[in-house]
Chain A
């Protein structure tokens, strides 16, 4: 068998391991699905009236505006869970066993990434489902939906590899739960919950150039028909860049010890 076949085979074995673990220990997944749904409900019903007036359309306009932000928020929240899960796994004896076996080295990490991606796609589907029930009114065609799903998946892969790397770097699961914290702030410090025009200059500058904003703008554009401009290209570049760097970083950390 070639090295690539072996790597694929080991990775799919590890993915099966991770999916079984997720089914066996569902509380994490439930939490990952519920947290963004609660955020969506709070923002739409508590703040939505006031914030929607700022957009010139009340609560109905706000729910359309906020969904992409909540979707990315869901990914950022899940990153913490992934980092903790990886850090915990690394302290288990079974990882030492994997390291002494003739298997593809990155397959352990790939298992984590695919497991987390599946978890988060479920979470995002739940958010969209609840949002539709609350009056979210996208005007996207099937192709636009597919494009949005594709970009979001790419984004999830990037953030997940980053959280795997952060989890690997952490000495304890407690430390791992703090490392991805800044990610949770990024939807707020971007165009996630209010338009960047309403922010003070320095913050606006940061909001416009940080990676979450182009992703949110692109998803918003695809689903609701707002202008996308060059956001799609910038978002894709950010996602691929973050994924590649994080993958190499995580693999290097795994091999080093």
Chain B
């Protein structure tokens, strides 16, 4: 089976500003691919190009098996796009928005009505169905937005920063929806600036920085390349801390702790390494007063990866 997206050497600039500097992507069907990057990295531009909204200056791509430039209309028939800025008609009600999509997807009237009702139920919008979308909360609007995308049964969905600006609860409910979609066989192309989100949802993650892909892999692979993760052990006295340092053979006293009673041990934060760490402490008969795991955040990923990137180009 062919891939959902293949792109070679996509580039785009606005005037002197290079937004995408030749990126290659391959997204297998039925998977979640996440493009991770800070604001201004070029994520939205990549989505706009792959969803036929704008043309690339160079490079080529196939989307859903169709050539992006020569078969743009066939691409449009196979994809759905939910952007960062809600693509709903605010003057229309939730139901009218969905019926509009049904009409534009050329569904028979009865089928369109059925589909709208089903999606309103599924996205927890049935009660608000007859209110104009302008009265919806951010989370509701985003759910309506995604529901509108689903009316046409797309095989590939672009989600451009779907949870930016949402509260944690709405974010989780959106994640659950995405997982259900993937279970149904849909391919997802997700952009996000949250490592946690990519980690939760994506099979593969590509890190975009200043228009270039600087790393690609699974969440695990990426995190392993980032040294920001560590385990912090807090002790009740100097004695225990020193014995722990001896037993583990690595780590250092956290300079941020004024009492000098916290030990930082570099770690990927995984279960296996924690078990190993605790076993060593157990064997030495040391019981830490407190243990916390710090996984690398997006800052860590970027500091590390962009650092490597600049070194590599030097």
Contact A96 B81 (CB under 8 A): yes
Q: CA–CA, A1 to B108, complex, Å?
A: 13
Contact B104 A96 (CB under 8 A): no
Contact B76 A102 (CB under 8 A): yes
Q: CA–CA, A21 to B96, complex, Å?
A: 11
Interface presence of A64 (CB below 8 A): no
Return the contact of A97 from the options B87, B92, B103 (Cβ within 8 A).
B87
Contact B92 A1 (CB under 8 A): no
CB distance from B54 to the nearest CB of A (A): 7
Which of chain B's residues has its CB closest to A97's CB? Answer: B87
- Which residues of the other chain, A, contact B140 by a CB distance below 8 angstroms? none
Chain A: interface secondary structure? helix
Interface presence of A121 (CB below 8 A): no
CB distance from A75 to the nearest CB of B (A): 24
- Which residues of the other chain, B, contact A17 by a CB distance below 8 angstroms? 89, 92, 100
Interface presence of A4 (CB below 8 A): no
Q: CA–CA, A101 to B149, complex, Å?
A: 10
Interface presence of B52 (CB below 8 A): yes
Return the contact of B77 from the options A13, A25, A96, A102 (Cβ within 8 A).
A102
Interface presence of A6 (CB below 8 A): yes
What number of B residues sit within 8 Å (CB to CB) of A? 31
Q: CA–CA, A173 to B77, complex, Å?
A: 31
Contact B85 A103 (CB under 8 A): no
- Which residues of the other chain, B, contact A9 by a CB distance below 8 angstroms? 103, 106
Contact A20 B96 (CB under 8 A): yes
Contact A94 B87 (CB under 8 A): yes
Interface presence of B152 (CB below 8 A): yes
Q: CA–CA, A145 to B145, complex, Å?
A: 47
- Given contacts A9-B106, A20-B96, A24-B132, A100 and B89 within 8 Å (CB-CB): no
- Which residues of the other chain, B, contact A20 by a CB distance below 8 angstroms? 91-92, 96
- Which residues of the other chain, B, contact A102 by a CB distance below 8 angstroms? 73-74, 76-77
Binary interface profile of B, 34-54, with partner A (CB < 8 Å = 1, else 0)? 000000000000000001111
CB distance from B83 to the nearest CB of A (A): 6
Contact B106 A1 (CB under 8 A): yes
Contact B106 A21 (CB under 8 A): no
Binary interface profile of A, 82-102, with partner B (CB < 8 Å = 1, else 0)? 000000000011101111111
Binary interface profile of B, 140-154, with partner A (CB < 8 Å = 1, else 0)? 000001001100100
Contact B87 A99 (CB under 8 A): no
CB distance from B44 to the nearest CB of A (A): 11
Q: CA–CA, A101 to B104, complex, Å?
A: 8
- Which residues of the other chain, B, contact A24 by a CB distance below 8 angstroms? 91-92, 132
- Which residues of the other chain, B, contact A94 by a CB distance below 8 angstroms? 87-89
Contact A101 B152 (CB under 8 A): yes
- Which residues of the other chain, A, contact B105 by a CB distance below 8 angstroms? 101
Q: CA–CA, A209 to B83, complex, Å?
A: 49
Q: CA–CA, A100 to B145, complex, Å?
A: 14
Return the contact of B53 from the options A6, A13, A25, A96 (Cβ within 8 A).
A96
- Which residues of the other chain, B, contact A97 by a CB distance below 8 angstroms? 81, 83, 87, 148-149
CB distance from A86 to the nearest CB of B (A): 14
Interface presence of B86 (CB below 8 A): yes
CB distance from A31 to the nearest CB of B (A): 17
Contact B76 A101 (CB under 8 A): yes
Interface presence of A257 (CB below 8 A): yes
- Which residues of the other chain, A, contact B85 by a CB distance below 8 angstroms? 93
- Which residues of the other chain, A, contact B103 by a CB distance below 8 angstroms? 9, 13, 16
Most buried by A among B79, B80, B83, B100: B100
Contact A6 B106 (CB under 8 A): yes
Which of chain A's residues has its CB closest to B79's CB? Answer: A100
Q: Which B208-266 residues have C-beta < 8 A from chain A? A: none
Contact B104 A10 (CB under 8 A): yes
Contact A93 B106 (CB under 8 A): no
Contact A100 B92 (CB under 8 A): no
Closest 7 pairs between A and B when the two form their complex, measured CB to CB? A93-B87, A97-B87, A102-B77, A102-B76, A13-B103, A93-B85, A24-B91
Name B residues whose Cβ lies closer than 8 Å to a Cβ of A: 51-54, 73-74, 76-77, 79-81, 83, 85-92, 96, 100, 103-106, 132, 145, 148-149, 152
With contacts A92-B89, A96-B83 known, what are 17 further pairs, Cβ within 8 A?
A9-B103, A10-B104, A17-B92, A20-B96, A24-B91, A24-B92, A24-B132, A25-B91, A94-B88, A96-B53, A97-B148, A97-B149, A98-B104, A99-B52, A100-B52, A102-B76, A103-B104
6 inter-chain pairs at a CB distance below 8 angstroms, sorted by A residue, are A16-B103, A21-B89, A96-B87, A99-B53, A100-B76, A102-B76
